[in-house]
Amino acid sequence: MKPLIAPSMLSADFGHLNKDIELVNNSEADWFHIDVMDGVFVPNISFGFPVIKHIKKIAAKPLDVHLMIVDPDRYIEDFREAGADILTVHYEASVHLHRTLQQIRSLGMKAGVSLNPHTPVSTLEDILVYADLVLIMSVNPGFGGQSFIEGSTGKIRNLKRMISEKKSETLIEVDGGVNLQNAPELVDAGADILVAGNAVFKSKDPATTISQMKRSDHSFPSR
């Protein structure tokens, strides 16, 4: 099955944001990936509610919102109102993760849980069936444009095996250093959703890059 592609708007051109939103709308991409950072959980600050609401007005595809914030429970309803279709919280930031995932689902959103690079997938054994997706961070969260952390592929394989053993339908999303070169390996390891920032928006032809990544089988030459 072809992977879902979720271009990361953190790498978009904010001086021409509408143009990049339409680019994603008119491409083979499946979701808009939106990183929310609070400057506390990660050392950076990004999108607030006004920007998410603006993207939602123009976006023709679901908003995949990734919360890199402390105490995410305070804002779950606010993100739904802003337009989130998928809402992902961090395992490391959620004290009552089961309750948080239930609340997200109760508001009509898909619920995701993200793991930092140092957090083993085994920590999700008891919560996996309550998550619609697991987001594997293959860079340290906080900044775009980082290099892929080697070893993340093995982590994806371990998670895929765990999902199979649990007979769960949880999807695996990967974010961080994803590009045309490593996309096929990630999909082979079990990734269902590829988040790509610079690989898309810094390419000479973003729409073609998205199309190639969608196939992830070396059918096209890398650029």
Q: Could you list the active site residues?
A: 35, 175
Supply φ then ψ for residue 130, to 5 degrees: -95, 0
Decide: 170 and 128 in contact? Cβ < 8 Å.
Answer: yes
Q: Is the dihedral of CA 75, 20, 56, 28 positive or negative?
A: negative
Q: At a CB cut-off of 8 Å and minimum separation 6, what does 86 contact? A: 31, 62, 63, 64, 65, 109, 110, 111, 112, 132, 133
Supply φ then ψ for residue 151, to 5 degrees: 105, -20
Which contiguous run of DSSP H or E holds residue 106? helix 97-106
**Other beta carbons within 10 Å of 198:** 16
